[in-house]
């Protein structure tokens, strides 16, 4: 079986880590196409080294741009590769512009498409990720869902017969990394200056367009983080830096200590060392849950609804209400009980993906 994986943005490279490893022990031919949506080394190269993923077979070097320009450039560049490769499956990941570009190129060439992390919904039609995931699900032949909730969404949209729950590949990577860190008693690396690892601190990220692209909202969010009574390690995505610069907003203020996005193992180690997480990232909400750290999500909704149980994750759409929630483990709100359920699977989703691709091909 020949499978072409199409990836391009940071979270897809983490998921690719699990899938590439599962393919490594088989006779299947796994070809990797990197669109170049993310190109800064800390958002891209670092993951290939860290997870031992072979260098991409094709690197398209597309880079940044408006949604249309970026997606269109990817489509034009993916077309000839798929035409030449003629894979049994094209595998696309998550909900970025690289996902929809890969899916569209494949479906228009009558190649079979599998969507990993299918069925997630925020029901917020203003999010570019929601457009990408809904459109990809509806054009894919095989929907690899990470949870039962995702399966329900797909069934509600008439897609049940193409869908299967394989578990979440992020769990494979998160637990393997956690176990390596705990076994090696690995020192913390890459935390921003001003964060003392043996004192309480929060890990924060902010990059969603709905939070970064409106100057007023971004200013309010930064003020809320700066006013927290505990140091905040803000691992700043380039989009956040670019927007703060453009709007004349300072990131390094009050409780905030600014650092760069971390390699995956350093991020997991930072979350383990932290008191909690404040974020708008889907991946980080789940990682906090899996690692047993309370999370505060700066959005009106989450696709990962399982994390909301027992207040492991609390949605705070209004940044002025951030204080008590983000601080809840240390002050008024009690720490949640450890998660007892495993809604995201058992950490062997990568192997399950390969198995289902084999079965559905037959």
> Which range in 31-39, 213-221, 301-309, 313-321 contacts ligand UD1 by CB under 6 A?
31-39
One residue of 11, 87, 119, 167 binding ligand UD1 per CB under 6 A: 11
One residue of 97, 136, 165, 211 binding ligand UD1 per CB under 6 A: 97
Residue with Cβ nearer ligand UD1 (10 or 162): 10
Q: What angle is formed at CA 257 by the lines to CA 255 and CA 259, rounded to 5 degrees?
A: 155
Query: Does position 172 bind ligand UD1 by CB under 6 A?
Result: no
CB of 10 to ligand UD1, least distance (A): 4
Query: Does position 238 bind ligand UD1 by CB under 6 A?
Result: yes
CB of 247 to ligand UD1, least distance (A): 14
Query: Does position 246 bind ligand UD1 by CB under 6 A?
Result: no
Which residue in 34, 115, 207, 237 is the catalytic one? 207
3-state secondary structure of 52: coil
CB of 183 to ligand UD1, least distance (A): 29
Query: Does position 239 bind ligand UD1 by CB under 6 A?
Result: yes
DSSP secondary structure letters along 74-108? HHHHHHHHHHHH--SEEEEETTSHHHHHHHHHHHH
Query: Does position 299 bind ligand UD1 by CB under 6 A?
Result: no
In this structure, the number of other CB atoms found within 10 A of the CB of residue 355 comes to 14
Judged by CB under 6 A, the chain residues 122 through 141 that form the site for ligand UD1 are: 128-129
DSSP secondary structure letters along 248-305? T--SS-TTEEEEPPPPHHHHHHHHHHSSEEEES-HHHHHHHHHTT--EEE-SS--S-G
Q: Which residues pair with 116 in a beta bridge?
A: 93, 144
Q: Cβ(173)–Cβ(17) under 8 Å?
A: yes
Residue with Cβ nearer ligand UD1 (303 or 352): 303
Q: Which residues contact 128 (CB under 8 A, 6 or more apart)?
A: 67, 97, 209
Tokens 């999370």 locate to 295
**Number of residues this chain uses to bind ligand UD1 (CB under 6 A):** 19
65: alpha, beta or left, given left = phi > 0 and alpha = psi -120 to 50? Answer: left
> Which range in 46-54, 234-242, 264-272, 306-314 contacts ligand UD1 by CB under 6 A?
234-242
Can you state the percent helix, strand and coil of the chain, rounding each to 5? Answer: 45, 15, 40
Residue of 302, 301, 355, 303 whose CA lies nearest to 118 = 303
Q: Cβ(60)–Cβ(80) under 8 Å?
A: no
CB of 347 to ligand UD1, least distance (A): 22
Binding to ligand UD1 by CB under 6 A, coded x per residue (else -) over 32-51, reads -----xxxx--x--------
Judged by CB under 6 A, the chain residues 190 through 209 that form the site for ligand UD1 are: 207
CB of 59 to ligand UD1, least distance (A): 13
Told to judge if 207 belongs to the known catalytic residues of this protein, a careful annotator would answer yes
CB of 70 to ligand UD1, least distance (A): 6
197 class by beta-carbon count within 10 Å (0-12 exposed, 13-18 middle, 19+ buried): middle
Q: Which residues bind ligand UD1 (CB under 6 A)?
A: 9-11, 37-40, 43, 64, 95-97, 128-129, 207, 237-239, 242
Residues with catalytic function: 207
């Amino acid at each position: 079986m020949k499978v072409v994986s199409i990836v391009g943005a940071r979270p897809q490279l983490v998921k690719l880590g699990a899938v590439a490893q599962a393919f490594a022990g088989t006779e299947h031919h796994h070809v990797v196409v990197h669109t170049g949506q993310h190109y800064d080394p800390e958002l891209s190269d670092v993951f290939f080294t860290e997870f031992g993923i072979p260098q991409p077979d094709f690197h398209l070097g597309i880079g940044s741009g408006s949604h249309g320009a970026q997606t269109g450039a990817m489509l034009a560049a993916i077309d000839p590769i798929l035409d030449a490769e003629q894979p049994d499956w094209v595998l696309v990941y998550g909900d970025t512009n690289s996902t929809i570009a890969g899916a569209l190129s494949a479906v228009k060439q009558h190649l079979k498409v599998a969507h990993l992390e299918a069925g997630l919904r925020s029901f917020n039609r203003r999010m570019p990720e929601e457009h990408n995931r809904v459109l990809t699900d509806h054009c894919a032949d095989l929907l690899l869902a990470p949870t039962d909730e995702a399966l329900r969404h797909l069934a509600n949209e008439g897609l049940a017969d193409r869908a299967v729950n394989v578990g979440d590949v992020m769990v494979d990577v998160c637990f393997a990394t956690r176990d390596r860190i705990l076994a090696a008693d690995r020192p913390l690396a890459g935390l921003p200056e001003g964060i003392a690892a043996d004192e309480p601190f929060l890990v924060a990220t902010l990059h969603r367009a709905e939070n970064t692209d409106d100057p007023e909202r971004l200013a309010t969010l930064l003020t809320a983080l700066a006013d927290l009574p505990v140091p905040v390690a803000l691992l700043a995505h380039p989009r956040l830096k670019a927007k703060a610069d453009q709007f004349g907003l300072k990131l390094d203020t009050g409780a905030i200590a600014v650092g760069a996005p971390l390699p995956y193992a350093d991020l997991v180690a930072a979350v383990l060392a932290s008191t909690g997480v404040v974020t708008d990232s889907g991946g980080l909400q789940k990682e906090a849950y899996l690692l047993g750290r309370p999370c505060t999500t700066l959005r009106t909704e989450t696709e990962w609804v399982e994390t909301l149980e027992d207040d492991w994750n609390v949605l705070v759409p209004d940044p002025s209400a951030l204080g008590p929630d983000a601080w809840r483990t240390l002050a008024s709100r009690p720490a949640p009980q450890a998660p007892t359920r495993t809604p995201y699977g058992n950490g062997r989703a990568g192997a399950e993906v390969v198995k289902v691709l084999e079965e559905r091909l037959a």
